Structure 1
């Protein structure tokens, strides 16, 4: 009788960094939040978006790559289509929930701020019919709601990647790089405002044909198609040097104090583009990721030093889609706190830590619901002792 192979323990590094990325994304999306001056994006070319996409690539290799190998290409593709369908409705849910909240805030009349205008949603309000078509076909993609559409398109590329990998995994890497180079050409983008009354040429802020490079870097590493970089002192020094050298071209304090630095930053142009994952931006992420990978040790052995924070971050990372959806809506709601009470130190700490606590609680709640506690066998009540017969 054959026994099922033992499951490998889950690598904590993936979930920890995904969870950390979720916390950073929440902080970054709260309007008027002073803590946004201290997120990674303020000190380098790359930011938490790369963490989210790279880790999603690694997680997809674990979740979907095994299905392709075990069940075949056709069933693996069907599983990808199912996931795309789930993310598509998640995108629509986030959009309509956020729109509802902004409509409610405006309708109260309590605030001078126009919350619908803050998200640039009046085109949808004033031209609902045409832009509803655009929303449902992903040809109307407002800037704040552009990450999940990007993820949907990248997911659609996985079956092609798995087909190429059957021939040679290096083909996946080659095609990914070529697609990234092609995406950086002028005029190559998906329409984001196709149905506007006045013609608009704006494309998606996150070009999926460029961002797939970050995704498939994580996918290829997790799949073993490219080797993990060795831990070498010279590599650590090189990565750290690159991060330090680029700091003056990213930190707002230094940029604000030097006209020369601002001019240099402007001259970099597409090399640091977020839309097309500029080459210097991609290298910055690789350098930061390498330093983090070395810092946590083999298998994440040094993560234990973070104490009880590690399992909390892991839980958030394991439920990243649900947490991301909630944070996109809640970030706008939390921002109302700054409109009401200002951005003093106490208010800032309460809003940020409170927001982190809320999305962390959502991660635990979603994980508990996924465990389907209602399927657990009910404990049978203890039998009552038989009544004693009275002696005559």
Structure 2
């Protein structure tokens, strides 16, 4: 969602003084949409079965991954889209604005599940393959006895792992009115709320009593993305955009610390444990110290409850990206006249468009990822075919972004001459 300027009539002197006293709306810069667009492409690759490109996504090299990018940037975008509504129209109408967005995301979630389930069922029914595709997402229960799962689907008490991001996002959005109410009293209460809720979500501290939601009525499985843990990264982005947290200075010391955190994570990452720790060194007669360290750190890097080291790693990585991108993302565009500069700027504009239409792109990407996996099952996963399928999937996301932007512009309302 982007902010659009509107024409306004000339202000009187008194109105001008009042307008000058009113805080200016915060306008998102290029970095917000650029990095959320990058996250959309990573999410597509990560959800495609048997995609060797997943060996090179951020999740393989550190504790945090594209999910943190998506949720953090969504918090920043929400501060623009909804925070302003609270400020302009009051708490009640601001809450209504958030409720409407939750309603939209809810039906997007339901539609995504139906579309993917129908795709997999259609492949199994009409394809007559040895592989059962509904089993690839563990949807056996839904198709074997759909009554209870169907009720669970519409009440969000049945949330299969592949479909768990949007429910988490809805619950976090539902916390926004609480956060805005606390901010009216003191912003310190917002950070206290964030910390208490995050602590309550840590299974390592409270066991089965930790704050979470059941993922299915027939077992004790919980939502994979615990919204009470993930709200921490969402409202961190929200707080930065609202100005409750000051933007960090560009400091050589901070750059060095952030770089150290990112590099120090590599030996304990998936790549590090598989390659460095297992095959090269840190192996002793009593065991593997790096693998043992990763096991010991599990509560702090847990993805479901959003472990603290994931938060630290992401903030370090985000700071480096923020510095490299430059003020308001000025370094992202080449703005040159050479062919290379023009091509690069065009690529950046495409990524920005994908980031601006993140909900539509995300829904399509989750469906497209299953199609890509099926296509590679049919044609093989050689390097060339895998790259071609990924390119086709990326083009689908780009087309979706431009299509969604076109529909949102409501061109049928424009006057024709």
User: Normalised by the shorter chain, which TM-score bucket?
Assistant: over 0.9
Q: Deviations over 1:218-266 (max 9, x none)?
A: 0000000111111110111111011111101111433542643222211
Supply the distance in 1 between the matched residues of 2:228 and 2:74 (Cα, whole angstroms).
16
Q: Deviations over 1:50-86 (max 9, x none)?
A: 0010000000000000000000000000111111111
Supply the distance in 1 between the matched residues of 2:277 and 2:306 (Cα, whole angstroms).
21
1:36 to partner: Cα distance: 0.5
The two structures have a TM-score, normalised by structure 1, of 0.93
Supply the distance in 2 between the matched residues of 1:54 and 1:63 (Cα, whole angstroms).
14
- Please point out which of 297, 321, 326 is paired with 1:297: 326
1:127 to partner: Cα distance: 2.2
Q: Deviations over 1:19-64 (max 9, x none)?
A: 0000000000000000000100000000000001000000000000
Matches within 5 A, 1:169-248: 169-184=187-202, 185-187=206-208, 188=210, 189-194=212-217, 196=218, 200-248=219-267
Please list every run of 5 or more consecutive structure 2 residues that lacks an aligned counterpart in the other structure: 1-9, 335-343
Tell me what 1:160 maps to: 178
Supply the distance in 1 between the matched residues of 2:194 and 2:47 (Cα, whole angstroms).
29
Looking at CA atoms only, which structure, 1 or 2, has the larger radius of gyration? Answer: 1
Supply the distance in 1 between the matched residues of 2:127 and 2:393 (Cα, whole angstroms).
25
Q: Deviations over 1:277-309 (max 9, x none)?
A: 111111000000000001111111100134222
- Any conservation in 1 of the 2:62–2:313 contact (CA below 8 Å)? yes
Aligned length: 375
Tell me what 2:87 maps to: 69
Where 1:111 maps in the other structure, the secondary structure is coil
- Please point out which of 283, 290, 293 is paired with 2:312: 283
1:8 to partner: Cα distance: 6.8
Supply the distance in 2 between the matched residues of 1:157 and 1:86 (Cα, whole angstroms).
16
- Any conservation in 1 of the 2:102–2:170 contact (CA below 8 Å)? yes
Supply the distance in 2 between the matched residues of 1:255 and 1:360 (Cα, whole angstroms).
39
Supply the distance in 2 between the matched residues of 1:176 and 1:69 (Cα, whole angstroms).
21
The two structures have a TM-score, normalised by structure 2, of 0.87
Supply the distance in 1 between the matched residues of 2:391 and 2:291 (Cα, whole angstroms).
33
- Please point out which of 156, 162, 166 is paired with 1:138: 156
Residue 289 of structure 2 corresponds to residue 267 of structure 1: no
Give the CA RMSD over aligned residues: 1.5
Tell me what 2:373 maps to: 335
Matches within 5 A, 1:1-392: 1-2=10-11, 10-184=28-202, 185-187=206-208, 188=210, 189-194=212-217, 196=218, 200-250=219-269, 251=271, 252-257=274-279, 259-305=288-334, 306-379=344-417
Supply the distance in 2 between the matched residues of 1:133 and 1:265 (Cα, whole angstroms).
39
- Any conservation in 1 of the 2:45–2:51 contact (CA below 8 Å)? yes
Q: Deviations over 1:322-352 (max 9, x none)?
A: 0000001110011112211221111011011
